[in-house]
Amino acid sequence: MDPRISIVTLGVSDLARSTAFYRDAFGLPLLADKSSDGISFFEVNRGSLWLALYPRHLLAEDAGVEDRPGSFAGVTLAHNVRSKADVQALFDAVVRAGARPVKPPQDVFWGGHSSYVADPDGFLWEIAFNPYSWIE
């Protein structure tokens, strides 16, 4: 078996709002031919990963778990950028688009520059410049 993550699915409260947020704020390419009125797919890393948005109550039902919003799920997603300046620029853009600022951009103990925002459904995103990682 090859280790991989193929799709990250977020259970969202308003599919149209979240689709617009990820398409317009993060600039993720919407896979219109794969998406429908009930689910949105975005291409990440030139197609090696997809981000899926699916109604939260249906995702909970599909997984066989109780839908209890409002608590930290123990998951964060990261969007790495190429420079410190890019951290600030993306942070500002997503906040303007409706994200809630959680931690403003700042130098961090591990040598990078990082911030956190919460998307419209409260999912935490780290926006970071990591001088030790490679991104395409």
Name the β-bridge partners of 114. 106, 128
Query: Is there a contact between 51 and 44 (Cβ–Cβ < 8 Å)?
Result: yes
- In this structure, are 93 and 59 located in the same domain? no
Domain contains 53:
yes
Q: Tell me the CA distances in angstroms from 92 to 6, 15, 38, 72, 118, one per residue in order.
A: 29, 23, 30, 23, 13
List pLDDT tens digits, range 42-95.
Answer: 999 888 899 999 998 899 888 778 887 666 776 889 888 999 999 999 999 999
Q: pTM for this one? A: 0.77
CATH number at residue 102: 3.10.180.10
Name the β-bridge partners of 41. 52
Domain contains 68:
no
Query: Is there a contact between 43 and 28 (Cβ–Cβ < 8 Å)?
Result: yes
List pLDDT tens digits, range 17-53.
Answer: 999 999 999 999 999 999 999 999 999 988 889 999 9
